[in-house]
Each structure stands twice: as C-alpha cells, then as structure tokens.
C-alpha cells in the first residue's frame, strides 16, 4: 500500500487562489519513483503528475471558489510498470505474484500460440511458449508484491 504526504504552499489559501501542492509517495518509508499521481477536487480530475526519482510530485492549481471542497490524490503505477511487474509472474495483474498466478501458468503449461490453453500473459519471457523457463521466472518472484518491487528498483 502506498502512503502520500501532501502539503500546500500556503496554509490558509483563499478560494480561487492559485497555489502549489507538494507531495511524496512512499511504500512503507521508501519514496517511490515513476508513479502517476492524479489530483481530484470534489471528485473531478484536476491535474496529473509523475513522481520523480525521490518520489516527489508537484501540482499548481487554482482552488475552487467554493469555501468547502474535498481534494485528494490517487496513485497509479503507469502501464509500463504494471507490464514490467507482470513479466515477473503477476499474470492476473493483482499486484502480487502468488498461487493464483501459478494456477494460471499451470493451465497454460506446454502451450504455444494456437493451442487451446494458450495464454500470452503466461509467456513471461516472450518466446512464444509456456514452459519451464516461465515457471522458473514466476517461482523466483513468488510472494513479491508490486510495492516491494517498486522499492527495489
């Protein structure tokens, strides 16, 4: 799970004023780079940014003119990071390499494109067959979560 610190450039901004919001994304206490951060105000997307190598991001926004509003951020791994993590064995893309992924690979084992049990997501090394090499990749990474992997990269 990610945690986010978010600080405004001004502690008591006026409605309609332009301010900067600074933040950092962490997994445990480790800052995480290359994540997509989306700022929402009253449920509507306002801005998007990516974390830098230190996990930091910044938004410049004009605050709503209403005196009361709800602002929050959502954090996503960009598609290329999700694809990279999937290639380690997260076949079902749930953020953890586990028994569910091993079961999917087992169903596709010894398949090639055109086989009735072919699943291209199980071809982890992209050699157009699901075999021991793919099972080895999954087994080597078994138990790994996307948060742990992001902290290591």
Same domain, 95 and 146: yes
**What pLDDT is recorded for position 14?**
82
d(CA 80, CA 72) in angstroms, rounded, equals 24
- Give the chain's domain count: 2
In this prediction, residues 21-29 reach a mean pLDDT of 91
What pLDDT is stored for residue 93 in this prediction?
92
Domain residue limits at 128: 80-152
pLDDT number for residue 41: 85
- Average pLDDT, stretch 14-28? 89
DSSP per-residue codes, 37-60? EEEEETTEEEEEEE--TTSEEEEE
The CATH number of residue 53's host domain is: 2.20.130.20
* Shared-domain flag, residues 109 and 143: yes
Same domain? For 55 and 67 the reply is: yes
DSSP structure class, residue 120? G
Q: Under DSSP, is residue 148 helix (H, G, I), strand (E, B) or coil?
A: helix
Percent of the chain whose pLDDT exceeds 70: 99
Average pLDDT, the chain: 92
pTM for the full predicted model: 0.69
């Amino acid at each position: 799970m990610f945690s986010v610190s978010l600080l405004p450039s001004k502690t008591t901004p006026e409605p309609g004023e332009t301010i900067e919001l600074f933040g950092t994304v962490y997994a445990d206490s480790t800052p995480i780079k290359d994540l997509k951060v989306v700022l929402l105000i009253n449920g509507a997307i306002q801005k998007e940014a990516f974390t830098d190598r230190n996990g930091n991001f910044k938004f410049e926004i004009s605050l709503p003119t209403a005196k009361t509003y709800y602002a929050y951020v959502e954090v996503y791994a960009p598609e290329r990071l999700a694809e990279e993590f999937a290639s380690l064995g997260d076949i079902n893309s749930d953020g953890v390499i586990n028994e569910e992924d091993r079961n999917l690979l087992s169903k596709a084992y010894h398949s090639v494109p055109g086989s009735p049990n072919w699943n291209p997501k199980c071809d982890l090394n992209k050699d157009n067959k699901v075999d021991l090499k793919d099972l080895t990749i999954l087994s080597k990474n078994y138990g790994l979560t996307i948060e742990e992997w992001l902290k290591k990269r």
